[in-house]
Amino acid sequence: MLTIRSLLRPSRIVDAHCDVPCGVYDPEQARIEAESCLRIIEKHDASDDKLFRARCIHVKEERAELVKNHLDVLWHDYFKPEHLEKYPDLHDTFWKASKQASKVKQSLDVAAAKDLLAMIDTIDEMWKATGGPEKTRVNGRPS
Amino acid sequence: MSRGRGLSGPLFLVLGMAAGVAVGRRWLDVVEVRGGSMAPSLLPGDRLLVESHSYQGRPPRRGEVVLAPDPREPGRELIKRVAAVDDAAASAELRGDAPAGSTDSREFGAVPLSAIRWRAVFRYWPPQRAGRLSPGE
């Protein structure tokens, strides 16, 4: 009977798989938060109100943290090993963009916020070139 | 109904199964389900008997529970239900029974029929839910 038991032991695992997120990815999400950071820094600089400036810093740090989160999700959930073949600098690009988001979180540097936007645009190009708009948005990215 | 009588059917099946698996894992095999995309019909940890004989003679049919390689990830084998068969394209649309929690053909597209070799026929574990897997719609 021991043999029957061993024969009934599964030979392999089969996946009733779910990525659980919905499979919707778009660098636009990170970009909107990064744009918020840029605008908030500008508003901060233009204001004399101490309280308002404090709020600006607080909200900007939150937004910058969201940028990092959205970039992370794109990086490890959307992009796949085959994309790395096409873009060997993919990891480096994400690493630098995440670091840049940290810089924006820590500073009130307008130039840093603009650089972050440019980095997200580079990621956006990779997303587009790998079929992101058709594959991940419900009806493509709204124009 | 006596208890012994109620058990003889399943017992016979399990013995037959073991004999079948013994013949060779080429035609019959046993697998374990991971993940919840086939709930409520299949739950994580369910153990199933699968067979590869049917699809040598005919294509998979709508409603059958099948194993198919994940088109996006070599080495991973998926278990899903056949939602539609396109004879002309020789491909099948696969869906999880829990569509809100399933990654399937909606994401990775139709799967070639030639890639689908195994059909899930019987659940033997857990015993309370043992039985044939009914072809759903």
Do the domain assignments include residue B137?
Answer: no
Give the span between the Cα atoms of B98 and A36, in whole angstroms.
38
Do the domain assignments include residue A17?
Answer: no
Query: What is the mean pLDDT of the segment spanning A10-39?
Result: 85
Say which of A11, A18, A23 has its CB closest to residue B31.
Answer: A11
- B123 compared with A10, residue with greater pLDDT: B123
Do the domain assignments include residue B33?
Answer: yes
pLDDT surpasses 90 at A43 = yes
Query: What is the mean pLDDT of the segment spanning A73-100?
Result: 90
Query: What is the mean pLDDT of the segment spanning A73-99?
Result: 89
Q: How close B85 gets to chain A, by Cα (Å)? A: 20
The top-scoring range by mean pLDDT among A109-118, A130-139, B33-42 is A109-118
pLDDT surpasses 80 at A99 = yes
Query: What is the mean pLDDT of the segment spanning B22-35?
Result: 81
Residues of B with CB under 8 A from a CB of A: 14-15, 17-18, 21-22, 25, 29-39, 42, 44, 47-48, 67, 70, 72, 76-80, 96, 98, 101-103, 107, 124-125
Do the domain assignments include residue A36?
Answer: yes
Query: What is the mean pLDDT of the segment spanning A130-139?
Result: 83
Q: Is A3 on the interface with B (CB under 8 A)?
A: yes
Tell me, letter by letter, the H, E, C secondary structure of chain B. Answer: CCHHHHHHHHHHHHHHHHHHHHHCCCCEEEEEEECCCCCCCCCCCCEEEEECCHHHHCCCCCCCEEEEECCCCCCCEEEEEEEEEECCCCEEEEECCCHHHCCCHHHHCCEEHHHCCEEEEEEEECHHHCEECCCCC
Query: What is the mean pLDDT of the segment spanning A127-141?
Result: 85
Do the domain assignments include residue A78?
Answer: yes
Band the pLDDT of B78: cuts 50, 70, 90: very high
Exposure string (b/e) for A105-123, b if CB count within 10 Å is 16 or more? beebeeebbebbbebbebb
Do the domain assignments include residue A100?
Answer: yes
* Contact assessment for residue B10 and residue B130, using Cβ atoms and an 8 Å cutoff: yes
- This complex has an ipTM of 0.77
Q: What is the CATH number of the domain that holds B34?
A: 2.10.109.10
Do the domain assignments include residue A86?
Answer: yes
Give the span between the Cα atoms of A61 and A107, in whole angstroms.
9
Chain A residue numbers with beta carbons less than 8 Å from the beta carbon of B16 are: none
Torsion over CA: A64, A66, A72, A74 (sign): negative
Band the pLDDT of B1: cuts 50, 70, 90: very low
Band the pLDDT of A1: cuts 50, 70, 90: low
Q: Which of residues 23-62 of A touch B (CB under 8 A)?
A: 23
Tell me, letter by letter, the H, E, C secondary structure of chain A. Answer: CHHHHHHCCCCEEEECCCCCCCCCCCCHHHHHHHHHHHHHHHHHHHCCCHHHHHHHHHHHHHHHHHHHHHHHHHHHHHCCHHHHHHCCCHHHHHHHHHHHHHHHHHCCCHHHHHHHHHHHHHHHHHHHHCCHHHHHCECECCC
Domain count, chain B: 1
Do the domain assignments include residue B64?
Answer: yes
Do the domain assignments include residue A18?
Answer: no
pLDDT for B62: 95
* Contact assessment for residue A106 and residue A42, using Cβ atoms and an 8 Å cutoff: no
Query: What is the mean pLDDT of the segment spanning B95-100?
Result: 83
Give the domain extent around A82: 27-130
| Nearest chain B residue to A136, by CA | B107
Q: What is the CATH number of the domain that holds A34?
A: 1.20.120.400
Do the domain assignments include residue B47?
Answer: yes
The encoded tokens of residue B128 equal 């309370």
| Nearest chain A residue to B40, by CA | A16
Domain count, chain A: 1
β-pair partners for B33 = A14
Do the domain assignments include residue A9?
Answer: no
Band the pLDDT of A22: cuts 50, 70, 90: low
Do the domain assignments include residue A88?
Answer: yes
Do the domain assignments include residue B96?
Answer: yes
Give the domain extent around B20: 3-132
